[in-house]
Amino acid sequence: MFSLLLQVRDSRVVGSGVTFSISSALKKNIRKYGIAALLTPNLSRYYKGPCVKVVLDIIKAHRFDLPPDIEKDRARWQLVESEVKEQLTSLKGTMKNTLGKSLSTAEEDAVDILTLGIALVGSSEIKLTVRHLAQIAFLRAVLAEHGVADTKYWPAVDKKLAKLREDAGKDKFKESQVFKRTLENDLAKYGHPTAEAGAAQSQLPAWQEDVERLFD
C-alpha cells in the first residue's frame, strides 16, 4: 500500500493525458547533487537556503532523462520541484540524525571527524577536503550546543554562520581561521582520525567542483 501511495505521489496525469513520473534515475541524481550541495563549505544558509534552486538549475543544465522543455510545463515541473524539496528536507533530517549520533565524547563511543564525514557522504562519490571537514565540525558544534531535540537547529546554524561572517568582515582569511579553530576543537574533543583527513581540492570529481562553484 505504501509503495502504491509513493507511485501516486511521484506521478501525475498532465494536460495531454500522458502520465509523467519521476524516474528512479532522476531521484538518484537529485540525491547525489543534493548531498553535494548540503555538504559544500561554500553554503551559507541551510534553512530556506539556495540548495533547492541550485539542484533545479543542475537538472535544467544536465537534463538527465527528462523530456525536452519540461520546465515549461508547470504541472510536470512542479513534480520535479516537489521531489527536490522533499529529498533535501529528508537529507537534512538524515544529516542531523547522523550528527546527533556522533555527539558522545566517551572514548569508546567517540566518532572522529573523518568517520563522521564518511557517514554523511554515504554511498555518494563525494570527496571531503579539510574545508568540508571543518564545516562538518561546525555543524556538530552547533548541534552539541543546541541539543538534538532542538527543532530550530538549521535556523540556528544559519544565524551562527551569518554572525561568523559578519565578525570576519567578509575577510576570507579571518573566516577560515574560525573554521580552523572549530576543526581543532573537534579533533581535541572527539579524537583524531587514524587515516589522513581531507582530500586535496584537485581530487574532487569534476561534477562536485561544478556544484561547489554554484555557491561561490
Q: What is the pLDDT of residues 59-86, one digit of tens each?
A: 999 988 888 888 888 899 999 999 999 9
Q: How far apart are CA 23 and CA 135, in angstroms?
A: 32
Q: How far apart are CA 130 and CA 133, in angstroms?
A: 5
Could you tell me which of 76, 105, 85 has the C-alpha nearest to residue 31? Answer: 85
Q: Strand 11-13 relative to strand 19-21: parallel, antiparallel, unpaired? A: antiparallel
Q: Would you say the C-alpha torsion 112, 152, 171, 174 has a positive or negative sign?
A: negative
For cell 581543532, the residue is 184
pLDDT for the residue 124: 87
What mean pLDDT value characterizes the chain? 89
Question: What are the tens digits of pLDDT across the range 197-215?
Answer: 787 888 899 999 999 999 8
Q: Is the pLDDT of residue 55 over 80?
A: yes
Question: What are the tens digits of pLDDT across the range 89-110?
Answer: 999 999 999 999 999 988 888 9
Q: Under DSSP, is residue 21 helix (H, G, I), strand (E, B) or coil?
A: strand
As a 3-state breakdown, the chain gives helix, strand, coil percent values, each rounded to 5, of 65, 5, 35
pLDDT for the residue 184: 96
Band of residue 18 on the pLDDT scale cut at 50, 70, 90? low
Question: What are the tens digits of pLDDT across the range 111-127?
Answer: 999 999 999 999 888 99
Q: Are 168 and 87 in contact (CB under 8 A)?
A: no
